[in-house]
Structure 1
Amino acid sequence: MPNPGATSDHKHAGQADSIAPDISGADTNGRPTRTNGQHIRLPEQLNRPRLEQVSSTHRSLSEALRAVRNREEQETLLEDYEGPDPEDGGEIGPGEVFFQDPYEHLQVYYTIHRIRRIVRANIEDPYTMDQLREPRLNVLVVKPLVDRLYNEDDVSVVYCLLVNRFQFLREQHFQHHQTVNLTRANLCELVAMKMLRRYDEESSGRLGLLLLANILVAPFQPFQNAPTQVCPERRTSRYQMQGGYEGKLTALEVAIISESKVFLSSSACVRVIDAVYQGRIIYTPTAFMDIIPDHYKHKAISLYDPRKAPLLNQYRLCVPRIRSIIEVVQFIVLLVLYSFCMMNRSGASFDISECLFLIYGSGWVLDECAAMLGHGWAVHTQNLWSFLDITFVGIYLAYLALRIRGWVTGDPELGRQALDVLAIAAPVLFPRLAFNLMPENMLFISLRAMMKEFTALSLIAVWCFGGFLVSLKWLSMGNTDTDLWDPPTPISISKWMLWIWFGLDGTGIDEAPKFHQILGPSLMIVYAFLGNTLFLTVLVSILSNTFSKIAADAMAEIQFRRAVLTFEGVKSDALFSYRPPLNVLAVLLLPPLKFILDPRWFHKLNVMLVRIHNAPLLLLVSWYERRYLWKSKRNNAQAQCPAERSKWNFWRWSGFSVHADLQAVFDEEPPPEVASKIEEEDDLEDAVLENSFAGAALRSISPGRTMRRRRLSSVWQG
């Protein structure tokens, strides 16, 4: 039975390519075919559409020219392949609403335990990451392991390697004296990186990018195809049903929670992350919990074609690049309303400025809470400014509770206290804007890590030095000479100790003899040595070490933050399509309708509301992406000829630079004749090397050189 909603929503996804695990099946023209309405199969060799295939005796000349023009545009966008839309009618999965998982047949459970056994057998001694990357261990351990595990038909191997890394790190956390588990975790990360690079080298072009995307963002479940006796029982709510994708994780998410920074900074991984961030690759993410779940359409991983997408494509609101711009604008609005509210605070009574901030702030806090639920606490806290957002959420909830209680009881003092609590959010909100505008600044990246270390060390110090506070309090209680002084309160003693800690004042040392003539000064002096000298010295050393580690591997840290920002930016919750404060209304109205309407009509209602609400923004996004998302070959060809450049290029600032040509020579790819000449000379040199003894030695050292040279040739010619 065909899906009644598939035809009407044919253009919603705007997809151009999708890839399946088995690549076979084509019609007489060499185009991919759909088998059993489940997924798309690609032919072995994809033929470029030709002009003679368009011309026909049954078609007019204008129709033929129009068809040729459309095919040229698609050829520019997708190079050698133009695939059908995976949502183009027919049954697409369970319940006729989900795209069937093309990798449900992979033996993920078996592969995970096979990798664990192989890694434990190969690594019995501790090594550092630098030692594992040395030529000797690379030849003896890493490369044989890559050759043994590599399977071009199994895209779950990288996921299984990262799952094993996560487990080895967990075992290392409970066995600090055995660093061999840390070595095994590093080996899993290194093998995953090299295996992803091999996939990248053996697949070029857009289809190669699509294959890498399937490896990184295809969802898998650790117990997939495991024996029934070991599979845990899972309970799925009908409200949160995701068509069999519940509880599945991607390799990118496992790399983030295991902090695989070397893997995430590899060139192949960065290529996919950038494509997902810009919206060239689209997929349906899995979420831990959605407040407004709308999973009627679960799309396959595919390349986005803006020319085939509708003008009002609501799915583009969850593209990480667009989503990040929207979040910055929303935060600026929140900051402006907050400043307006605090500058016009009127005590116990409500005014228009506070009402506006209260309404908009509720929507912003709801959006932040939904982000925490979407990908879980472990992923959300990896964000660069997550600790600032979480702090503001706590301050806002405290302010809201006091404000509501003061309004209900009619107590004006509670209203003033609520505004006082809200005033302490300024040190959190103003730096947060700088974090948004400069997310790759090393100062902010290191500041986040050092704040984490400082908080942990401060809590340990307070815990340890609490004994001094209790001892001094008990000494003051034992002093019966009340004529000399009144026994100080614990708060007073804490202030004296805090001043000594930071070297601000020595009042505590002056008051120490009043606790006890001998024991009081002794305790204070010991505390001063431990707190002001030893602890601060250790704290500075640890923070300096943390900063030096981050600065030494700055590129990996930056790429890791980009990966977190990209992964967290792909949202599955329909709540993120509504701007604050309208998301509050959406939470109040849409979830009850989920139990009344069927999935198809709930999806249609949600799409209609989102498109009406975001119509201007969606039109702007559609116009921009149709022009700039994919580079046009015709534009590149015109740019290569200076005589055909646009007259507006004269106003580029680079033209006023004396050294502008040093950069301009690399702006465009070389013309075909130049690339062919270079290729011919390289072939001649390789032929000479292959007939020499040095060429034989070179082949033994680098057997993949010929493959990489052919890949370079295909990239230039494509």
Structure 2
Amino acid sequence: MDGEYQSLLAPSPEFLATVKVFPLIPSLKKDVARTIDSALSWDQLTASDINFSIVRPIVLKYAKLKNMAVVYACLVVRSYFLAESEAELAYAGVMHSRATLCEILAMKLLSRFASNHIQLVAVLTTRWNPLAGAPFEIAEQVRQAVGGDEDDIDSAQSALEMAISTQAKAFLASPVSQKVVNDIYSGRIVFSMSGSRSILADNYKPRAIELYDCRTAPFIDHYRLRVPRYGAILEFLNFALLLLTFILCLSNQDKAAVTVWEMAFVLFAVAFTLEEYTAATEHGWIIYIANLWNVFDFSFIAVFILYLVLRIQGLHNNDLDASSMAFDILSCGACILFPRLAFFAISNNVVILSLRAMVSQFVFFIGIAAVCFSGLLFALWTLGKDADPAPSLKSIAWLMTQIWFGNTSLSFGQAERFHPVFGPILMITFAALANTLLLTILISLLSNTVARIDANATQEYLFQFAIATMEGVKSDALFSYQPPFNILAFVILKPATWFLSPRALHSTNVFLIKLTSLPTLILIGVYERYFAAGQRFRESGRDAAQSLFNSLPRHIKNMPLVEALVGSSSNGVYEAIFDVDFTSEMELFDDSDDDFPTLQSFQSSTRNGGLQTTPTPKRKKLRPSSLGPPSPRGSPRARSLNPPVVEPSHSAELPASSSRSPLAVLFGSRMPSSDSVTRVEATANRIEVLMKDLHELPVQKLKEEMKDLQDRQARIESLLLVLTRGMRNETHRQETFP
């Protein structure tokens, strides 16, 4: 499939502009609010009965519209109910259940577009305007209610961005969403996002969504710099250079003059700050700060800005103390830079994923404890005014901090210094609370946080992976430049946007990108054409290595070290077994003997002539013990009473048996003719065969299944009565429920 055909499968920008988004939002809000009137958990909402009676009808209703913005609309309604759950605390459980239902609807409606992969990508990555398709009067009311600029009102977001901002982790962790996220991350999907909040926007050539093929793409393709996978590698290299210049700057610091290494560090740090500011502007602060590593980056930027201000002040006023303070502050940035670089290698670890939640819980708890103990700080400072010398607030705060972290003996030695009576009481109370109660509560909170993150480690990792992927797909032109060349591009292209046409600006931008990133583009082109997965050079090299391994002696291949590096040869045998086509002579059983019960869907069952849970068993040959009740073991007389084997022949009549059956004895006295007696006996034997076959049918199993279906229907009817009870009392509920 060539690139032109693939691009034709994608919806055009003109078609996407005609999609109506706004009518979906109030309709979904109404249906979800009318359906859910009680607090339900995720497990309850995904149960089979709720899915059959509530979720499936809504999905079928909106799937008929074939509107590509329906997934985005579900997530918008989810954001509304999440906001309502925080505003209406009395109905927080109900609102949260409605938000959860919106996420489930988004997951199920997304699977409706999975047949066309490019269309699926368009559903998730297209930036929809929530006011698209709204009447003019409603749009004006929204503008008056929101206020602000026209650009703020018309700002659009994609479904993936909405899922990140609403914390829809189950939606992002679903296989359909992760398929798109993985393709975007690896660069198999090519699309361009029009930048509405970009610092340097280049929207001259919007590209339709297509599958990337290196055979048809140009060798030097500047769009490959925006692939999140390559962006992560380049980001690691840029951060390593920043760390190297940071170390050299502090190792060769000169408070009276600026060294070469300090100039290099300032240049890379300014470029790094510009890159992070562009990322925060591109996707918004909510999505930017949702990434754990961006918190580290923002902290380092704050340290760097404070260092730069003090350093400029010290150089301008020849103040060595200010320059010394600037370097001291910059030295504290090592506590951020070194872990930040190390976390690149272990970013997928469960401990790292739970680190952010633990830090937020710790900071929140310490903040509450500091506010609570501020009264004790003021009380000790007031009681200690009469002491000689009087302790300051700083010394008292430092003393309380030492006691908080375990140095309890200080509370007994310094207690009477504040007051002979109240000092020991207050200090012992603080020591007991700090080291026993509050510390135990803090450990319990952090343990519960780690356990919760560990239980949902997969969703948390996929959520962070989706954030990193969406941050990597940026429309701002500055992201195609590697630091410190992004400063050069900003200085040249930003003023050029004021007088250059979009075509000329695009040509200048492409030229500068290829000029500054030519070695990187060449490496990417060589890798994708020769060394990437599925390429001929890599496959041939793998085959050569496998042939070399197979030619080794057996005692070398069976060495533990070689087997650990290459793998066991038995695994290859197991995989090759299932790739071999078996002949019909190897079949152990006949296809006609497969009488296993099968579970069919309703559509397939109706096509086959009706519902069928178990196949009709074939007629078997009658054995001596098949007619009549089983005889007790060890009774030869009872065995001799069994009739002989009845073998049905190909003729219309059955052979006469040596002993007459009970039915033959019953009707035999009324039939004087011998021919009629023979026919009656044959008919009786045939009836006995049919009755035996009737007894062998799974009638009892069918009865049990029918009873099970009746019980299930009764449970569904009772559940519907419970769920619609609020609708019957709708007039009364509207007075108390918004």
Q: Per the shorter chain, which TM-score range?
A: 0.7 to 0.9
**Once the 2 structures are TM-superposed, how far is the Cα of residue 422 of structure 1 from its aligned partner?**
0.5
**Hey, what's the Cα distance between the residues in 2 that align with 1:537 and 1:476?**
30
* Aligned-pair Cα RMSD in Å: 3.3
Contact 2:282 2:474 in 1 (8 A): yes
Secondary structure, counterpart of 2:7 in structure 1: strand
Distance 1:651 1:398 in 2: 59
Q: Which of 69, 74, 84 is residue 156 of structure 1 equivalent to?
A: 69
Q: Check conservation: 1:334, 1:361, Cα contact below 8 A.
A: yes
Aligned residues: 586
1:693 is matched with 612
Equivalent residues in 2 for 1:426-445 (5 A)? 426-445=334-353
Contact 1:282 1:301 in 2 (8 A): yes
What residue number does 2:669 align with?
none
- Equivalent-residue separation in structure 2 for 1:352 and 1:346 (angstroms): 10
Residues 673 and 394 (structure 1), Cα distance of their counterparts in 2 relative to 1, 3 Å cut: farther
1:121-160 equivalent positions in 2, closer than 5 A: 121-151=34-64, 153-160=66-73
Equivalent in 497, 516, 520 of residue 594 of structure 1: 497
Q: Offset of 1:146 from its aligned partner?
A: 1.8
Structure 2 counterparts to residues 81-96 of structure 1, below 5 A: none
- Per the TM alignment, residue 585 of structure 1 is displaced from its structure 2 partner at its CA by 2.1
- Once the two structures are superposed, residues 86-129 of structure 1 have per-residue CA deviations (whole angstroms, 9 ceiling, x without a partner) of xxxxxxxxxxxxxx342222221111111111111111110111
> What is the CA–CA distance in structure 2 between the aligned matches of 1:350 and 1:191, rounded to whole Å?
60
Structure 1 residue 519, shift from structure 2 partner: 2.1
* CA distance in 2 between partners of 1:498 and 1:402 (Å): 29
**Do the aligned partners of 1:288 and 1:376 also contact (CA within 8 Å) in 2?**
no
Q: Is the 1:14–1:304 contact (alpha carbons within 8 Å) kept by the matching residues of 2?
A: no
Aligned to 2:106: 192
Instruction: Tell me, yes or no, if structure 1 residue 167 matches structure 2 residue 167.
Output: no
1 or 2, which has the higher helix percentage? Answer: 2
TM-fit CA distance, 1:627: 4.2
Aligned residue for 1:534?
A: 437
Distance in 2 (alpha carbons) for counterparts of 1:444 and 1:272: 25
Aligned equivalents of 1:286, 1:669: Cα separation in 2: 48
Residue equivalent to 1:324: 232
1:335 is aligned to 2:243: yes
1:647 aligns with 2:544: yes
The DSSP-based 3-state class of the residue aligned with 1:296 is coil
The answer to whether residue 353 in structure 2 is matched with residue 455 in structure 1 is no
Moved more, 575-584 or 622-631: 622-631
Q: Does residue 103 in structure 1 map to residue 16 in structure 2?
A: yes
Q: Does 1:261 align with 2:181?
A: no
Using the alignment, how far apart are the partners of 1:540 and 1:169 within structure 2?
29
Does the CA contact (< 8 Å) of 1:16 and 1:304 recur in 2? no
Is the CA contact 1:249–1:286 (under 8 Å) kept in the aligned structure 2? no
Match of 1:662 in 2: 571
Given candidates 401, 404, 415, the residue that maps to 1:512 is 415
**How far apart in 2 are the matches of 1:158 and 1:324?**
29
CA distance in 1, matches of 2:182, 2:577: 20
Partners of 2:209 and 2:472 lie apart in 1 by 16
585-594 or 181-190: which moved more? 585-594
Aligned pair 1:383/2:302, yes or no? no
Q: Does the 8 Å CA contact 2:198/2:281 hold for their aligned counterparts?
A: yes
1:180 aligns with 2:94: yes
Partner SS state of residue 211, structure 2: strand
Residues 523, 161 of structure 1: alpha-carbon distance in 2 compared, 3 angstrom cutoff:
same
Residue 20 of structure 1: CA displacement?
5.0
Between the aligned partners of 2:186 and 2:100, the Cα distance in structure 1 is 30
Question: 2:17 & 2:566 partners in 1: Cα distance?
Answer: 56
- Confirm or deny: 8 A CA contact 2:28 2:74 kept in the other structure: yes
- Cα pair 1:219 1:250 within 8 Å, conserved: yes
Deviations 1:237-286 (A, max 9, x none): 9xx99xxx961100000001111111111111110000000111122235
Q: CA deviation at 1:651?
A: 5.7
Q: Is 2:254 the partner of 1:367?
A: no
CA distance in 1, matches of 2:163, 2:128: 13
SS at match of 2:89: coil
Give a deviation string over 1:302-339, Cα, whole Å, max 9, x none: 22232222222111111100111110110011111111
**Higher mean C-alpha displacement, 133-142 vs 434-443:** 133-142
Give 5+ residue unaligned stretches, structure 2. 550-561, 616-701, 710-738
Q: Does 1:392 align with 2:274?
A: no
Q: Which amino acid aligns with 2:361?
A: E
Kept in 2: contact 1:14–1:308 (CA 8 A) = no
CA distance in 1, matches of 2:515, 2:7: 29
Contact 1:496 1:506 in 2 (8 A): no
Where in structure 1 are there 5+ consecutive unaligned residues? 1-10, 22-38, 40-99, 702-718
The equivalent residue for 1:17 is 7
Partner Cα distance (2:567, 2:489) in 1: 56
For the Cα contact (< 8 Å) 1:218–1:251, is it kept in 2?
yes
Change in Cα spacing, 1:612 to 1:330, as seen in structure 2 (3 Å) is: same
Q: Is the 8 A contact 2:531 2:537 kept in 1?
A: no
Q: Secondary structure at the match of 2:138?
A: coil
Residue 198 of structure 1 and its aligned partner are, at CA, apart by 3.7
From the superposition, tell whether residues 198 and 225 of structure 1 become closer, same or farther in structure 2 (CA, over 3 Å): closer
Structure 1 residues 495 and 564: alpha-carbon distance in aligned structure 2, compared to 1, 3 A threshold: same
Distance 1:18 1:635, change over 3 A: farther
CA drift of 1:606 comes to 0.8
* 1:332-389 deviations in Å (ceiling 9; x for gaps): 1111111122222233332222221111121112111211111111101111311111
Alignment partner, residue 475 of structure 2:
572
Whether the 8 Å CA contact 1:196–1:268 is kept in 2: the answer is: yes
Contact 1:314–1:611, Cα closer than 8 Å, also in 2: yes
Deviates most, 273-282 or 521-530: 521-530
Cα distance change, pair 529–398 in 1 and its aligned pair in 2 (3 A)? same
**1:384/1:439 contact within 8 Å kept:** no
Using the TM superposition, give the Cα deviation of residue 139 of structure 1 relative to its aligned residue in structure 2, in angstroms.
1.9
Partner of 1:503: 406
Give the TM-score of the pair, scaled to structure 1. Answer: 0.75
- Deviation, structure 1 residue 209: 1.6
Do the aligned partners of residues 654 and 562 (structure 1) sit closer, same or farther apart at CA in structure 2, a change above 3 Å counting?
A: farther
- Look up the equivalent residue of 1:662 and give its one-letter code: N
- Check whether the contact 1:16–1:305 (CA below 8 A) recurs between aligned residues: no
CA shift for structure 1 position 426: 0.9
Aligned amino acid, residue 545 of structure 2? W
Q: 2:327 aligns with which of 419, 424, 437?
A: 419
CA distance 1:330–1:180, shift in 2 (3 Å): same
Residue 436 of structure 1: SS of its match in structure 2? coil
Distance between the aligned counterparts of 1:165 and 1:417, measured in 2? 49
Deviation at 1:177, TM superposition (A): 3.5
Distance 1:559 1:308, change over 3 A: same
Bigger Rg, structure 1 or 2: 2
- d(CA) in 1 for partners of 2:136, 2:247: 59
Matched, 1:521 2:430: no
SS of the equivalent of 1:194 reads: helix
Correspondence 1:475 to 2:412: no
In structure 2, the CA distance between the partners of 1:661 and 1:655, relative to structure 1 (3 Å rule), is: farther
Residue aligned with 1:220, SS: coil
Residue identity opposite 1:497 in structure 2 = M
Q: Which amino acid aligns with 1:544?
A: S
**2:645 corresponds to:** none
* CA displacement at 1:669 relative to structure 2: 9.6
TM-score for both structures, normalised by structure 2: 0.73
CA distance in 2, matches of 1:235, 1:309: 43
Whole-Å Cα distance in 2 between the matches of residues 175 and 651 of structure 1?
69
- Please state how far the C-alpha of 1:645 moved relative to its aligned partner: 7.6
Shift of 1:154: 1.2
Give the distance between the partners of 2:21 and 2:579, measured in 1 at CA.
44
Alpha-carbon distance in 2 for matches of 1:139, 1:565: 36
For 1:385, what is the secondary structure of its paired residue?
Answer: helix
- Match of 1:370, SS state, is helix
Partners of 1:193 and 1:578 in 2: CA distance: 36
Q: After superposition, what is the alpha-carbon deviation per residue over 1:402-444, rounded to whole angstroms, capped at 9, x for unaligned?
A: 1111111111221111111100011111111122122211111
